[in-house]
Every structure is written in C-alpha cells, then in structure tokens.
Structure 1
Amino acid sequence: MATTTTPHQRSGTARAAAGGLTIFAAVMLFISGSMDFCRGLMAVLDDKVFLTTPEYVFEFDLTSWGWIHMILGTVAVIVALGLLATAKWARILGIVIASLMIIANFLSIPYHPFWSLTLIAMGGFIIWGLCVVDRETLG
C-alpha cells in the first residue's frame, strides 16, 4: 500500500502570528537601533555623559564606541524598514545585527550599564521574534 503526502497548509491564525512576530521584531529593532544611534551620537558629541572605568579589559575610546553604536543603529533601522517591507534578506540580517548589537552593548556595560542591559534584553526579544516563526508559515 502506497502512502501519499500532501502539502501541509497552515491556518490563517498561524500566518497572522508569523506576521505579528515579524512586525514585533521590526518595531523592536527600529526602536533599539534608534536608541543605539542616539547613544553613539552622545558618545561622539560629548563623552562626559558616560562613566569611565579605568581598568576595563575591553577599553576603547568613547568616540570609537560612539561610531560603532551609530553604525549599528543606522543599519538596524534600515533592516527594520526591510522587515516591515517583508524583504527576505532582512530576516537573516536582522538576526545578525541584533546579535552584533548585543555583543557591542555587552562590551560597553561599564560605560552606561542600565542602557546596555536594556538594549541587550531588546536584542534577545528581536532574535526570538525573528527565529520562532516556522519557515513554512512565511509563505
């Protein structure tokens, strides 16, 4: 007896949930990128806003950290707009950018701890929102 398989169709609810998680991740990435850009701008314009840690292992000049955060924030906002436009490249690049933002914020915890921890948590939610959706529910 031969068995046949048919393509599995997802319900409208599953497709709506997939779209909702993508929109959630896009909005969180936009907010996180905007906050990271503002943080970088503060570091470039006036680095007296941040704490100084004299013996930190990953010590960089605050202007360097500022440019790193400004570049990551700008790319994150562009990727978030790509996610809202349902571009396929934006999902993978969103995960990569959120991961890089988590690493950058972890390394800059001594300079601005509360803000760094907030953005690390937001990055985790972004990665979750982009990874939890089944590939089959996307189209």
Structure 2
Amino acid sequence: MTSHAYRAGVAEQEGRGLAVFAGVMLGLLALFNGLDGIAAIANSHVFLGNAHFVLGDLRAFGWLLLALAILQAFACVGVLSTGAEWARWFGVVVLGLNAFAHMFFIPAYPVWSVLIIALDIAAIYGLSVYGGRVQSARSP
C-alpha cells in the first residue's frame, strides 16, 4: 500500500467516527422528538401551562415534532447503514429544520428545547465535517 493510499484510508476512518456519532444522535433525537410529539398531541401535563406560541398551538407543534421524528429516523438509517453523501446531507437538512422548530417550541419546554438545539448543532457538525476530498501530502 502506498503512503498516499494509507493516509487516505486513515483520514476516511477518522472522519467515519463523527458520522457514526451524528447517526446515533439522529436516532436519539428521533426518539426524543417522537416522545415529545406524542406528549404534545395528547396534551400531557409535561409542558408548561399557558404558553403562548407564535404559530399554532401545542398540538400543532406535537404533529410537527412527530413528523420530524420520522424524518430523523429515516436519516439515521441512511447515515448508519450506507453513510452515503445524500443521507448525510438529508440529515443536515432535517437537523436544521428540527433546530428551527425547537426555537418555536421554547415557550412550552425551554430548557429541553435549548438542549435539543445544542444536540442538533453537534450532530450537524458531525455530518458536515465527514467526507470530501482528502488532501494529498506530497512525499519529499
């Protein structure tokens, strides 16, 4: 094996760990959003009472979170099973939408929403930095 091929293989394996991390985070966020969505649809007493939303009500956000959970589950399967570029970028889009949705969900569950936004950003980082071209270092 040439040194260039070895370095390319090592760089690919190093980045794969971040993609696996992001895929697992997608799965966890899908689970969390699914549970939050079901709780919001059922008008659970988990959320703060008398919260005022910019758009819609708590049930509308529950359906939104449930739909995002399904999309995140598909992205998780795509990232963990194939690791293909389209799956990673689909995951980035879904995580961005999830972070945006949780900004509107802050009145119902402020600390949890901010935590989910932080996890979305960490997973977006993991999906974004993996892949691309490996810079070849010329041997002297």
Out of 109, 116, 119, the position equivalent to 2:113 is 116
1:84 aligns with 2:80: yes
CA distance in 1, matches of 2:38, 2:101: 15
| Contact preservation (8 Å) 2:47, 2:108 | yes
Stretch of structure 1 that moved more, 44-53 or 67-76: 44-53
Deviation at 1:16, TM superposition (A): 1.2
Q: Which residue pairs with 2:51 in the alignment?
A: 53
Render the CA deviation track for 1:65-115: whole Å, top value 9, x for unaligned: 000000001110111011011233211100000000000011110100111
Q: Which residue pairs with 2:132 in the alignment?
A: 135
Structure 2, unaligned stretches of length 5 or more? 135-140
1:120 maps to a residue whose letter is I
Q: Which residue pairs with 2:138 in the alignment?
A: none
1:70 aligns with 2:59: no
- Identical positions, percent: 33
2:71 maps to a residue whose letter is V
Deviation at 1:42, TM superposition (A): 0.2
| Contact preservation (8 Å) 2:12, 2:131 | no
| Contact preservation (8 Å) 2:40, 2:59 | yes
Render the CA deviation track for 1:12-38: whole Å, top value 9, x for unaligned: 331111111110000011101110111
Render the CA deviation track for 1:33-75: whole Å, top value 9, x for unaligned: 1101110000011243311324x5x142111000000000111
1:44 aligns with 2:41: yes
| Contact preservation (8 Å) 1:47, 1:63 | no
CA distance in 1, matches of 2:107, 2:42: 19
Q: Secondary structure at the match of 2:51?
A: coil
CA distance in 1, matches of 2:55, 2:23: 31
For normalisation by structure 1, the TM-score amounts to 0.84
Structure 1, unaligned stretches of length 5 or more? 1-7
Structure 1 vs Structure 2 CA RMSD: 1.6
Stretch of structure 1 that moved more, 84-93 or 44-53: 44-53
Q: Which residue pairs with 1:4 in the alignment?
A: none
